[in-house]
Chain A
Amino acid sequence: MYDIVVIGAGVVGGMIARELSAYRLALCIVEKKHDVAMGASSANSAIVHAGFDAKVGSLKAKLNVRGSEMMEKVCEELGVKYKNNGSLVIGFNDEDRATVEELYKRGTANGVKNLKVLDSDELHAIEPNVSKNAVCALHAPTGSIVCPYELTVAAIGNAMDNGADLKLDFEVTDIRDKGDYFEIVSAGETLQAKYIINAAGVYSDAIAKMVGDTSFTVHPRRGEYVLLDKECGTLVSHTIFRTPSKMGKGILVSPTVDGNLLTGPTSVDIEDKDDRSTTPEGLAHVMREALENVDSVMFNKTITSFCGLRAVGSTGDFIINLPRERFVNVAGIESPGLSSAPAIAEYVIELLANAGMPLEKNASYQPRRVAMHAFREASMEEKNAIIKKDPAYGRIICRCETVTEGEILNAIRTNPKPRDLDGVKRRTRAQMGRCQGGFCSPYIVEMLAKEMNVSYETVTKFGGESLINVGKTKEVK
């Protein structure tokens, strides 16, 4: 019997689980996919928003500003890359200028610090590659960037190191109310838990329905992105937004914490909660609008394009409540969900405490986690000391991102352990560079097979039927 089960191993579930692992609780995270961070947390804008967007007084506004304040410390503890690069919302005409002024007022009311309205000269002085047609901008120095899947992996790994269980390939098919506890049913296993946190992203409405809560729905909103080579990573230093219109926040152009340049997202409501395909129109839209905002974005240096789904709730605000005893919804966490995640976790603990959940501090709780990129950032002397102890750190596997065998093995052996090629990619950046795993993936398949003690041809790209090889040569029928 678990005290509490978190459904959904995205950044929201992960941050909540980490926060819960600071208490003496039998805790489990369940996830229907083959790895953590497979939903919205695997593909979004990777921005820690300053907090000027959300409506004054909304839960979004409150948690965004608070989350943004907390993020740097959380990342430091978890060994996650974080960069306070500042955001700019650029405008092209008088109407945009009015919007910029409006955002300034709203942001200030939300408690965002140091906001400033810039004129064209001030804007181009700090971002010379922003379109010359831009006439004004809102500068938000507290805007930052972070890697969403790195944060999710680290949060869940940290929760596990503090005693939490993680069950992957666990798709919740039913929740049975047993009076003072729940049964959480999946095809393979049934868990018992006194409390449930519903952090199931686009499926959180379906989970809520299992306990009789039909007060909200969640639908997916497609966002397509194009990611460019590190060669382009310094084109802008701030995250460049366009003034929002009825059509949404528009296409941003931003450096990433790993040094690439990210452009996107589109914003299209769809029906299918699993449809993460990109479209010719969407990608064309991203490229066209990015070029309107920033000069000479080199799309011939594209590394990959991808699509993420935001979980858009029917209420217009985050849906964080207890529709019934011992069951917490954390739903409709669309943008600024990543920014808010640490504050959402804090808020949920507060809700649980107020609802009478016994919360006793876990004396051995360790909030810190060793950074997965520690080797990468070490000095040459430090690296050589590590290589001397473990020669695998001297051998490069991924040449594009310079990732060593030691780093990959370490990732495969560290909670939450990756079991497929994409899992290794998200944790180590191996296969993330310009050749997209062309050279190194056959080696990584071999390392995974050996570490998991399975045969070579059973290794997948991301679980399920996503096999890399279908059999041995000489044996194809």
Chain B
Amino acid sequence: MIRELTCIVCPKGCPLKVELENGAVMNVTGFTCPRGKQYAIDECTHPMRTITSTARTDNGEVIPVKTDRTVPKESMFDCMTEINKAVVRLPARIGDTVIENILGTGANVVATANMD
């Protein structure tokens, strides 16, 4: 079976073709960088995504945050539930951890802006 994907690793959006046999990746074509190939394999076995969002701050505003590495795609909404519960103490700096190892994914949620 051939699965066609659009690579999301970078803005180029390379069209990828993945050859699958019983769920196992046999071959990938169409990529123009090693990260593209890895994306194709991951996407067909365990799709991963970076989450970018905002979190509440202790003064009632919001601060932008992201997962510092990708998390399983199917966990995105569960991660959002956790992120929505968080309250970030100000001042905060880019890279400050907001949630450590969110839902055991190994990814930390970190601030992506400086706020006083």
* Chain A residues at the B interface, C-beta cutoff of 8 Å: 473-475
Contacts and interface: CB of A to CB of B under 8 A. Distances in A.
Contacts of B94: none
The majority secondary structure among interface residues of chain A is: loop
Nearest to B84: A474
8 contacts: A473-B54, A473-B62, A474-B54, A474-B55, A474-B56, A474-B62, A474-B84, A475-B84
Interface of B: 54-56, 62, 84
Contacts, number: 8
The majority secondary structure among interface residues of chain B is: strand
A474 B62 CA distance: 10
A474 B87 CA distance: 11
Contacts of B56: 474
A473 B83 CA distance: 11
Q: What 7 A-B pairs come out closest when comparing CB atoms?
A: A474-B84, A474-B56, A473-B54, A473-B62, A474-B62, A474-B54, A474-B55
A473 B63 CA distance: 12
Nearest to B81: A474
Contacts of A474: 54-56, 62, 84
A473 B54 CA distance: 9
A473 B53 CA distance: 10
A475 B56 CA distance: 11
Contacts of B55: 474
Contacts of B62: 473-474
A286 to B, nearest CB: 42
Nearest to A475: B84
Nearest to B83: A474
B102 to A, nearest CB: 16
Nearest to B85: A474
A449 to B, nearest CB: 13
Contacts of B84: 474-475
A474 B55 CA distance: 8
